[in-house]
Amino acid sequence: MDEFVGKEIARIRQLVGEKGQVIGAVSGGVDSTVAATLTREAIGDRFHAVLVNNGLLRLGEVEQVTETLTKHLHIDLTVVDASQRFLDALEGISEPEEKRKRIGRMFIEVFQETALKLSEAAAESPNVGDIGWLLQGTLYPDVIESLTFKGPSQTIKTHHNVGGLPAVMKLKLIEPLRELFKDEGNDFKIASIAIRLIFKSARSWINPWPSRGARMETPFPRTLTRDQVCAKREDHQINSDSYQRILGHVNQPQLQILRRADKIFLDEITSAGLYREISQAFAALLPVRAVGVQGDKRSYGQCIVLRAVTTTDYMTAKAFRFDWEFIENVTSRIINEIPGISRVFYDTTSKPPGTIEME
C-alpha cells in the first residue's frame, strides 16, 4: 500500500504541475475521500473539495457528509446546491441510461462553473494557476460495468462518474483509484489506503468497507482491531443517488416517499443487529401501483422493493437472507407510516444476473 500511495502522490504532482489546481468530486464515501486525501497530500491547498447537492440524496445526507469531511477529516469543502437543476434535467425521463447520461452532463456542468468561481477567487495569488483538473474516486468495478477497459467487456450500465461523462470536457480527469478493486483478494486495498492516509494506521487485514460509497462518519483511533473497524461504520450504507432507486420518472414527491421507506429499512437493520452482516441495503420505488386495503377502504398505492446484499468485491453479490419476522415488521412499518404505499417486496436476485442497484 505504501508503494501505491507514494506512486499516486508523485503521479498527481507531475500531472498537475507546480501551480495547477484540482477540484475534487467528494461524497463523504470511502472512495472519494481516499482520492481526495491522496490529492491533498500531493498538492496541498491547491486541492478544492466540492460536494454537489443534486437533490437526489438520502435524508440528511448533505449535512452529515459536510460534518464528516470538515469536522472530522478537516477537508476544505465547498457545498453546491444544484438540486433543482438536476431534478429539472430528469423531468419526464424514465429510461435508466438516459437518466445516467443527464446526471453526468449536469454533474460536469456544475463542476465547471464551480471551478471557474474558485479560479477567480484564487486569481489574486501569483503562486497558483487555473483549475484544470477534476478528481473522481472511480473504481475498476465501475469501469468494467461502464466500458471496455483492459480487454473486451460488454457494457452492463453506465456509471455517471465514468461512461456518463460527456466526451468533450474542459476539465481533465484524475482518477487515482481507477484500477483498484475493493475485495478480499486484493487485501481490501481501499480500506488499507484509507487507514494509511486518513488514520495513519495501516492494516491490510481489516474487513472491507460496507459499500462503494459507505460513509466514514467518525474518526478512527490510531490503533484498530477488526471489530472496531466494523463498529465505526456509518449508520446508513450509501452507494448511489436516489434516482437509481426510483424506477420511472423522478420528482420531489417520489423522492420523499423513497427517503422515508429507505430510512425505515436501514433503521430496522441497525436495530436488529444485522448491520455488520450486510454489504449494501436500500429501498427502491417501482413504477407500478397495486390494489390494497387500508382500514375499511380499497387503496391503489405504490410499491416499494427492498434490497440487501452481501459481497466482497461488488462484481458478484447474493441477496441477504432475513428471517420472515424481520421482513413482516419492515413491511408493516412502511405501509402504516408512509401514505400511498400498498405493497412491499423483497428482491432475492443475485448479481449476476441482476445488478446491485435497480437501474
For residue 76, the model assigns a pLDDT of 81
The tens digit of pLDDT for each residue in 261-317 reads: 999 999 999 999 998 889 889 999 888 889 888 777 888 899 999 999 998 877 889
Q: Per mean pLDDT, which range of 29-43, 169-183, 238-252, 290-304 is the poorest?
A: 238-252
Q: Quote the radius of gyration of the chain (alpha carbons, Å).
A: 21
Instruction: Give pTM, 2 decimals.
Output: 0.60
Which of these, 209, 244, 257, lies nearest to 59 by C-alpha position?
257
> Is the pLDDT at 253 greater than 80, yes or no?
yes
Q: Annotated binding site for ATP: which residue ranges?
A: 27-33
- Residues of the binding site: 27-33
Peptide bond into 353 cis (omega under 30): yes
Structural domains of the chain ordered from first start = 2-196 (3.40.50.620), 242-346 (3.30.300.10)
pLDDT digits (tens, 9 = 90+) for 237-249: 333 455 557 677 7
Lowest model confidence (mean pLDDT) among 84-98, 179-193, 263-277, 306-320: 179-193
Contact 255, 245 (CB under 8 A): no
pLDDT of 153 higher than 50: no
Q: Per the structure block, which three cell numbers stand in for 209?
A: 468497507
What band does 341 get if pLDDT is binned at 50, 70 and 90?
very high
pLDDT exceeds 70 at position 169: no
